[in-house]
Amino acid sequence: MVSFLDDTARTALGAESQTRSPKISSADFNYSFSQDAEDEGVISIEELQASQPNQRPASTPAEQTSSSVVDSSPIDHRTRVLYPEFKRRQRDSPHWTQGTHAGVTLDHVRDYLTWFGTLSPSNKHIADTAVNKIQKYFEKKTQEKKSGQENIQQAPDSPTPNSSHNGIESIMETPVKNNTTNDTAAKAEKAVTLPLKENKVLLNKPLDGRRMMSTSSAAYAKLELLTQKESLFADVKRKNFANEVKEPEVKRVQAVTLSEEQNQVIELARQGHNLFYTGSAGTGKSLLLRSLIKSLKKQHPLGSVGVTASTGLAACNIGGQTLHSFTGIGLGDAPADKLVKKIKRNPKMKDRWRDLEVLIIDEVSMIDAGLFDKLDMIAREMRKQRDVPFGGLQLVICGDFYQLPPVTKNGEPVFAFESQAWKQAIKYTIVLKKVFRQQSDRDFINMLNEVRNGNVSEATARKFRALSRPLASKEGVIPAKLFPTRREVDRANSTMLKQLPGAEVVFRAFDGGSLTDEDQRQRLLSSFLAPERIALKKDAQVMLIKNMDETLVNGSLGKIVDFIDPDTYSHYRSIKSDKIDVKTLEEKAANSMNKGPPKRDERHLIEDSTVLESQLDENVFSFLKELKEEQPEDLPESAQKNIERKIELLNQLYSSSKNRRMPLVRFIQADGTTREVLIEPETFSLEDEFERPIVSRTQIPLILAWSLSIHKSQGQTLPLVQIDLRNIFERGQAYVALSRATHRRGLQVKNFNPSRILTHEKVVAFYDSLMTVDEIKDREENKRKKTAGFVSSTQLDRLENLAENVADAGDFVNEKDNVIDEFDSVWSGQ
Ligand SMILES: Nc1ncnc2c1ncn2[C@@H]1O[C@H](COP(=O)(O)OP(=O)(O)OP(=O)(O)O)[C@@H](O)[C@H]1O
């Protein structure tokens, strides 16, 4: 843990705190750069408050004799109220280190000093000294900043913004230096230890005593921050990490590091703002959200961060629930007051709403205004805070309104951003600008932008039409096919399946749930990803539709290796890991074979008519073959016999388990390696407020994946993809489909017709209403001209100095409290 206050300032504030009763240790003032602050023993606000009965921060001799005098003072009253809050902010807010202080000007600081100086002759002296110090400090910092920038330009080993390869920021491994305990190193460390899965993989590797240093070009990049209502002054003070890495570069490894703008979203969310972040397809919204969720979960108590998305698929992607099921609104059709009653009947849901601190909503484009307003009303009611949007919940919302709109029975969709609740609740809108998905084909990004805006030029249309040529199949990888309608998808998949040799294995779903209205039931069931009936074959290309663990997630692609029952599979695994001898295997196999008929739901799941081969595919035994081939000479006859006996036993098991066989799938993982997993049935359900299924479906969590509907492809990245746009029926559909591709090389487009590529006018207007970065900068610049400039962390450093001076003065304890109070006022822009 690293304190952001330098020693003197900390001593000053710590010393000051010691005059208070009860005492608060100087550790209370520590700010941790680590996102694991809670884990590192940083005192919580509750603890802090508990340590200050009545939250009375000041305790001067005068107060000790006559507390009523002190209590009647407006300044002390403010101090009393603000002090714990001040400390909380001091501890929690990156403002303190990064200097983002919307609305606070140097004039405030000067006014303050002037006022402070008028209090007494000694104060005047202190104020003058502080001004002096401030001036010198400012000059020094400006000088440092300047020379830092020069160093960035000059240092041969310092990465520049151009040093990122294909947009992936590089991470440099640098030997740990003796002075790596300094703040800068710690900050640099933080930059790579963001809770990003990709980073974690990298960081989990032993580093041979080397410390990871981010050389992200983004560290110096200007923020591209758009905000709808409030300006977030983006004068973020960034240290030049690379500049301080004196050692020559040791080794470069490629890794995914969050960009500056992505990090900024995390910072804003951690500061507790209600925000909506958006951006074109491929700007890393989902990747960022996964990181953000981890970060917020660490920051907030268990169970207080609600992770939701508008659709089941999107919810799976972020390890959450649908918004409907999480909030307990079921189908959400009833009026808000009825829904509140319904939720209140369920104690678990009541607790959930009470404990909730942050509500995350992904794929917000598919949520309509009506639902958004209802949720606002429900939240106010459930949390008994009727005057605050969403009852004081923090909202973190993500999505792209240019992509798929809310489902409407008829007429125009009404988007969430049109709701009253949105206007009241959402303070920050951030538009991510850097496109990662198509970064190796810049011209393609421009083409996609035209599709996004529904304004395709003739030149771009020509380029899209040129993409109708067939794709060259690469190393047997068949491109994914995208179609607008489910019918087209099913047809394309079954054509592919038929072309494969071998028998079909058909799995029928097992449906349940309390809903009796058959029409509604079918409508809901048909929205599940898992089909009622799925026919598969060996070698079929499939997609997993449930998250299984860190590496096998909804959307993972694989091929079916074989169909095996769980017993055979478990024996197969034991043999593979060499954990079983022939004798034990014989015993276990005998038990399994005597098991009797399969269970009811297993029987139902696999169609009786299915024909299965009686011999396990040789793929399954490849590891044994390899073993034999690798050691033809050395393998003793007994060992060979053992292997053959094991194969024989497996085959016996296999043929005795006809109706229990499940697909064994070889998945391709993100790092290119493969992993075999036996897929067993899973239950998908839509639940009521008591978490009882309204409708449920038990089915193997796989779908054929040669072809996908455009709706299901939302959120995917597809390097090889064929798209047929003939039957597009929704605005945004063509954009979603085309933007799945990473490069034109891997994209085939059929039936491209620019006149059918449309966008919702309302969406265009909404995005137009967001200010551009340049506009924000201009606005800030104008303000700056009018005032003396914005307070940055440099100014706050000066205020710390001021506090230090006051502490040194000793006699001015009362004023010292005023300093703290004023300090807080300056900080919060009052
Ligand atoms: N900071 C980053 N550095 C490198 N690659 C990144 C970064 N952020 C995202 N990516 C990559 O960009 C691709 C698109 O990311 P992601 O799916 O999160 O985008 P998205 O904005 O959610 O897209 P969509 O709106 O189309 O669903 C992914 O392959 C992801 O790994």
Give 91-122 as a 3 state SS string: HHCCHHHHCCCCCCEHHHHHHHHHHHHHCCHH
pLDDT digits (tens, 9 = 90+) for 184-225: 333 333 322 222 222 222 222 222 222 222 222 222 122 222
Atom of ligand 1 nearest to the CA of 432: 21
Atom of ligand 1 nearest to the CA of 740: 26
Ligand 1: residue of 290, 437, 438, 448 to mutate (most ligand atoms within 8 A of CB) is 437
**Residue 25 among known ligand-binding residues:** no
CB 711 within 8 A of CB 554: no
Question: Ligand 1 pocket, 699 CB below 6 A?
Answer: no
Question: Ligand 1 pocket, 168 CB below 6 A?
Answer: yes
Residue 498, pLDDT score: 93
**Residue 280 among known ligand-binding residues:** yes
CB 558 within 8 A of CB 636: no
Q: Reduced to 3 states, what is the DSSP secondary structure of residue 269?
A: helix
Question: Ligand 1 pocket, 262 CB below 6 A?
Answer: yes
Residue 163, pLDDT score: 28
pLDDT of 35 strictly over 60: no
Residue 658, pLDDT score: 61
Ligand 1: residue of 194, 360, 398, 436 to mutate (most ligand atoms within 8 A of CB) is 436
CB 448 within 8 A of CB 280: yes
Atom of ligand 1 nearest to the CA of 439: 12
Question: Ligand 1 pocket, 555 CB below 6 A?
Answer: no
Query: Ligand 1, atom 24: nearest CA belongs to which residue?
Result: 281
732 confidence band (pLDDT: 50, 70, 90): very high
Question: Ligand 1 pocket, 715 CB below 6 A?
Answer: yes
Residue 198, pLDDT score: 26
Residue showing tokens 């100095």? 801
pLDDT of 446 strictly over 60: yes
Q: Reduced to 3 states, what is the DSSP secondary structure of residue 22?
A: coil
**Residue 284 among known ligand-binding residues:** yes
616 confidence band (pLDDT: 50, 70, 90): low
Mean pLDDT on 82-96: 40
Stretch among 58-67, 259-268, 433-442, 807-816 having the lowest mean pLDDT: 58-67
Residue 148, pLDDT score: 54
Question: Ligand 1 pocket, 801 CB below 6 A?
Answer: no
- DSSP output for 714-777: TT--BSSEEEE-TT--STTHHHHHHTTBS-GGGEEEES--GGG----HHHHHHHHHSPPHHHHH
Query: Ligand 1, atom 27: nearest CA belongs to which residue?
Result: 715
Identify any residues that bridge with 667 across adjacent strands, giving them in sequence order: 558, 675
Higher pLDDT: 96 or 623? It is 623
pLDDT digits (tens, 9 = 90+) for 123-134: 666 667 666 655
Q: How far is CA 632 from CA 168, 621, 629, in A?
A: 46, 16, 5
Residue showing tokens 């075999």? 676
Question: Ligand 1 pocket, 277 CB below 6 A?
Answer: no
Query: Model-level pTM greater than 0.90?
Result: no
Identify any residues that bridge with 535 across adjacent strands, giving them in sequence order: 506
pLDDT of 247 strictly over 50: no
Ligand 1: residue of 168, 259, 263, 286 to mutate (most ligand atoms within 8 A of CB) is 286
- DSSP output for 549-617: SSSS-TT-EEEEEEEE-HHHHHHHHHHHTT---HHHHHHHHHHHHTS-SPPHHHHHHB-TT----SS--
Question: Ligand 1 pocket, 436 CB below 6 A?
Answer: yes
Counting residues of the chain whose pLDDT is more than 70, the rounded percentage is 53
CA of 176 to the centre of ligand 1 (A): 31
Residue 158, pLDDT score: 31
Question: Ligand 1 pocket, 719 CB below 6 A?
Answer: no
d(CA 417, CA 348): 30
789 confidence band (pLDDT: 50, 70, 90): very low
Burial label, 350 (beta-carbon count in 10 A; 0-12, 13-18, 19+): middle
pLDDT digits (tens, 9 = 90+) for 561-588: 888 888 778 777 777 666 677 777 777 7
Q: Which range is most confident: 208-222, 303-317, 774-788?
A: 303-317
Question: Ligand 1 pocket, 479 CB below 6 A?
Answer: no
**Residue 142 among known ligand-binding residues:** no
610 confidence band (pLDDT: 50, 70, 90): very low
pLDDT digits (tens, 9 = 90+) for 448-501: 999 999 999 999 999 999 999 988 765 556 788 999 998 899 999 999 999 999
Question: Ligand 1 pocket, 256 CB below 6 A?
Answer: yes
Q: Exposure pattern of 439-456 as b/e (b: 16+ CB <10 Å)?
A: bebeebbebbbbbbebeb
353 confidence band (pLDDT: 50, 70, 90): very high
**Residue 281 among known ligand-binding residues:** yes
Neighbours of 669 (CB within 10 A): 15
Residue 264, pLDDT score: 86
Mean pLDDT on 256-277: 89
CA of 258 to the centre of ligand 1 (A): 10
Atom of ligand 1 nearest to the CA of 287: 18
CB 403 within 8 A of CB 281: yes
Residue 301, C-beta contacts closer than 8 angstroms, at least 6 positions apart: 355, 357
Higher pLDDT: 67 or 519? It is 519
pLDDT of 395 strictly over 50: yes
